[in-house]
């Protein structure tokens, strides 16, 4: 789940400060890796389940905040669109009956959401793309009013220099434009998080890359959009085009797609992936520095690497490395974004 506490201002001085904090975070992560501070000896699995809310006519129901207000379960949170919510499953140690326990937890939290949605005559639907979505549902009025969403929308539009475009050729052809990032809300996914040690990361990340294509092929279930028959898994085209910041009008630094599978195998550490992204992509949004990550390490504290986490939330690899801190212990995760909801 991306950080919501962002800084939407884009003046040069603030951008410079954020870049400095981002580079410090990379150096701090390198030190933690070299000093063996990142959690080892355990693997955990977790997931984020995105969902769509529909009304009794199976049209999108933009009452996410109202439904969320009836829910006390902290695992349920907002998503980009008012007609989407997200459930964050508790991480479990990988082994034994962990997958059955994950399924039970997922069914339980979805039941909580469905019970609250029923008070508004709404229903929870799990699908890669809701076939009943119409372009009119994707207006900026249906963006969930959180700073992160508006900040990313403004930044991508500014870099692109024009509206969002979506062109897909399948059995039918689709060509649409939209004035906001709400086209991204067409996609709903089941995102698996796999906690691994820094020592294991290269091998396990490479395995995740190797199995991404067959996993995606086996799970494909999003062939219809706006009544058009498109790709077996149309989420790919949507995701790659909607948050793309490359443009003929803005040549230069970003020669690679911000949404991508990757360019090669990881050889030594997770730092290769983070450094590659930081060197190739500008920050879409910033965040005030909570701490000097290097100074925190000098004082014996574990930094949260807020700048790195904020930046990483705007680079959309299908397998994305993530850093986090739980109970004072830093850890690494591989976030797999392949599976549809």
Using one digit for the tens of pLDDT, what is the confidence trace for 196-229?
Answer: 999 999 999 999 999 999 999 999 999 999 999 9
Residue in the block written with tokens 């990142």:
38
Residue 6 belongs to some domain of the structure: no
CA quadruple 118, 120, 124, 125: dihedral, nearest 10: 130
Whole-number Å distance between alpha carbons of 325 and 302: 8
Return the pLDDT at 253. Answer: 47
Return the pLDDT at 160. Answer: 77
Q: Contact, 64 vs 84, CB < 8 A?
A: yes
Residue in the block written with tokens 């190797």:
210
Q: Structure pTM?
A: 0.89
Q: What is the CATH number of the domain that holds 20?
A: 3.30.590
Residue 283 confidence (pLDDT) above 90:
no
Q: How many helices (H) and strands (E) does the chain have?
A: 9, 14
Point out which residues pair with 28 in neighbouring strands: none
Mean pLDDT, rounded, for 14-37: 94
User: Number of folded domains in the chain?
Assistant: 1
Residue 193 belongs to some domain of the structure: yes
Whole-number Å distance between alpha carbons of 183 and 179: 9
Residue 2 belongs to some domain of the structure: no
Diameter over CA atoms, the chain? 60
Whole-number Å distance between alpha carbons of 64 and 134: 18
pLDDT-derived band at 281, boundaries 50, 70, 90: confident
Residue 142 belongs to some domain of the structure: yes
Whole-number Å distance between alpha carbons of 270 and 195: 13
208's CB contacts (< 8 A; 6+ apart) are 194, 319, 334, 336
Query: Which residue range(s) make up the domain with 42?
Result: 12-340
Residue 214 belongs to some domain of the structure: yes
> Between helices 12-34 and 271-280, what is the axis angle to 10°?
170
Return the pLDDT at 247. Answer: 57
Residue 86 belongs to some domain of the structure: yes
Pairing of strands 189-196, 228-229: unpaired
Angle at 244 between CA 239 and CA 248, to 5 degrees: 145
Whole-number Å distance between alpha carbons of 198 and 37: 9
Whole-number Å distance between alpha carbons of 288 and 157: 22
**CA distances, 144 to each of 7, 19, 83, 121, 140 (Å):** 17, 28, 9, 20, 9
């Amino acid at each position: 789940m991306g950080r919501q506490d962002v800084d939407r201002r884009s003046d040069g001085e603030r951008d410079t400060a954020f870049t400095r904090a981002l580079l410090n975070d990379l150096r701090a992560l390198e030190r933690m890796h070299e000093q063996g501070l990142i959690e080892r000896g355990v693997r955990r699995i977790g997931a984020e389940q995105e969902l769509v809310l529909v009304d009794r006519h199976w049209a999108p129901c933009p009452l996410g905040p109202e439904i969320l207000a009836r829910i006390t379960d902290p695992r349920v949170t907002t998503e980009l669109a008012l007609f989407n919510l997200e459930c964050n499953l508790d991480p479990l140690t990988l082994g034994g009956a962990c997958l059955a326990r994950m399924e039970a937890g997922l069914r339980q939290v979805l039941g909580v959401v469905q019970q609250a949605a029923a008070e508004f005559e709404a229903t929870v639907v799990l699908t890669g793309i809701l076939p009943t979505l119409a372009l009119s549902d994707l207006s900026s009025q249906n963006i969930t009013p959180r700073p992160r969403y508006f900040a990313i929308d403004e930044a991508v539009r500014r870099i692109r220099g024009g509206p969002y475009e979506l062109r897909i050729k399948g059995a039918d052809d689709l060509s649409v434009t939209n004035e906001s990032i709400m086209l991204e809300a067409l996609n709903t996914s089941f995102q698996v998080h796999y906690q691994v040690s820094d020592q294991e990361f290269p091998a396990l990340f490479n395995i995740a890359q190797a199995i991404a294509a067959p996993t995606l092929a086996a799970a494909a279930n999003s062939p219809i959009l706006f009544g058009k028959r498109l790709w077996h898994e149309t989420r790919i085209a949507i995701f790659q085009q909607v948050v793309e910041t490359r443009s003929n009008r803005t040549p230069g630094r970003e020669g690679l797609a911000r949404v991508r599978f990757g360019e090669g195998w990881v050889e030594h550490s997770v730092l290769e992936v983070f450094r590659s992204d930081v060197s190739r992509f500008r920050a879409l949004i910033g965040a005030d520095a909570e701490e000097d990550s290097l100074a925190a390490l000098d004082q014996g504290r574990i930094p949260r690497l807020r700048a790195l986490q904020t930046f990483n939330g705007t680079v959309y690899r299908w397998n994305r490395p993530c850093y986090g801190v739980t109970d004072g212990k830093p850890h690494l995760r591989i976030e797999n974004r392949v599976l549809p909801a």
